[in-house]
Structure 1
Amino acid sequence: MMTEKCKEDSEDCLTICLKYLLFVYNFFFWMAGAGVLTIGTWTLTEKRDYLSLLPSSTFAVSAGILIFAGSLVLVTGFLGCCAVVREQQAGLAAYFSLLLLIFLTELVAGILACVYYQRLNEELMQNLNKTMMENYARPGEEVVTYSIDQLQQDVRN
């Protein structure tokens, strides 16, 4: 009887420790999601001027993936915290399913970043020269002129 009580107490202690460990992990996971969302939003808003210099939408899609992943992490982190606090098995199952989805999304985003980084740089350089020759300071091409001016100021600073 005494050994059963000790065993129960140690299992309760282990459960409580795991609960708090998962809660702390979830907090850092949530903070990372907020960071990814912030970077994606910043990229899309601050670098929007360069979109007119690129013929493809690779840059905008990359920023969109960051925003989606960050939002998904925030929602998942919140769901995970609620599931841990309330000790809901269905909530924990949904939490781990969303963690798997996030992992796959981040894997795809990482692969795309590696694959398209060089392509994006090459695309920018090739089209920058062409765009400057054909559209810079021409009537009706104010957006392109502004984008090139912004790019030159950013590089200079």
Structure 2
Amino acid sequence: MGAYQEKKTTCGTVCMKYLLFTFNFLFWLAGGAVMAVGIWTVAAKSDYISLLSSRIYAVSAYILILAGVIVMVTGVLGCCATFKEQRRLLRVYFVLLLCIFLLEILAGVLAYIYYQQLNEELKNNLKETMVQKYRQADQDHVTKAVDKLQQEFKCCGSKNSSDWTESVWIHSGDAQGRTVPDSCCKTQTELCGKRDHPSNIYKVEGGCITKLEMFIMEHLKIIGAVGVGIASVQIIGMIFTCCLYRSLKSEPY
């Protein structure tokens, strides 16, 4: 009876080991995906971050990058802990899983909070950023972001093209008679911004605010979904780890 019980327990441990190993492999792949989403958000879309007064959007992405790196390291540690059957390593692995879980939940919560306040922030700050900082000294990142925004989303100004009448740059000699930046033009050429007729420049209802808000909201949904989704999967990993830990603890030496 005792030999049967030992064999049964050992078989259960082996099954749990392979389940946890499979989870760790998938978890390692998920870590790469999480890190990729964070890097993509920061690197590929970093120009628009300079147009936002809050840093929550960027922070959420950086948290995902950090979580992704830790996930990939933790996945390797989890495989080692599983096959070496060391309870100490399993404890460290469990703690790391818990930390990553909290980090990803935090990224998801930050994304949700910022999602709620994004419209108000853009209304209050985008126009001021565009008219006060465009083409000004030490504001090349803002100039680049505004030009990219207007060309990529085919819009002009914060709410409409008339916002540029308040621009510091437009009222300076540097504008060379332009009424809007050349990036407002449907066909961008040097000094095309002198003519602000609808046939020449973009006259989009809602201006760039609407376009940028929709763009960032879509990215926040992705950040939130990835963070909360991977965190939910980790619960399974923590359950497997606890089961294996208890199984090893109960086995005879």
Shorter-chain TM-score category? 0.7 to 0.9
1:88-107 alignment, distance < 5 Å: 88-107=86-105
Which of 21, 24, 29 lines up with 1:23 in the alignment?
21
Residue 4 (structure 1) shift: 3.3
Residues 143-152 or 91-100, more deviating: 143-152
What SS is found at the alignment partner of 2:153? helix
C-alpha distance in 1 between matches for 2:147 and 2:120: 19
Contact kept? 1:58, 1:120, Cα under 8 Å: no
Residues 52-61 or 86-95, more deviating: 52-61
Distance 1:51 1:19, change over 3 A: same
Letter in 1 for 2:140: E
C-alpha distance in 1 between matches for 2:122 and 2:132: 15
1:36-115 alignment, distance < 5 Å: 36-115=34-113
Letter in 2 for 1:70: G
Structure 2 gap ranges (5+) = 155-253
Residues 96-105 or 15-24, more deviating: 96-105
Give the structure with the larger helix fraction. 1
Residue 58 (structure 1) shift: 1.9
Structure 1's consecutive aligned runs of 4 or more residues displaced over 6 angstroms after TM superposition are none
Residue 98 (structure 1) shift: 0.9
- CA deviation map 1:123-147 (0-9, x unaligned): 2343222222223345654322210
Aligned length: 154
Contact kept? 1:136, 1:145, Cα under 8 Å: yes
Residues 12-21 or 119-128, more deviating: 119-128
C-alpha distance in 2 between matches for 1:35 and 1:66: 10
Q: CA RMSD in A?
A: 1.9
Distance 1:8 1:140, change over 3 A: closer
Structure 1 gap ranges (5+) = none
What SS is found at the alignment partner of 1:17? helix
C-alpha distance in 2 between matches for 1:59 and 1:105: 15
What SS is found at the alignment partner of 2:50? helix
Residues 85-94 or 114-123, more deviating: 114-123
What is the aligned partner in structure 2 of residue 143 from structure 1? 141
% same residue: 51
Contact kept? 2:56, 2:111, Cα under 8 Å: no
Distance 1:110 1:140, change over 3 A: closer
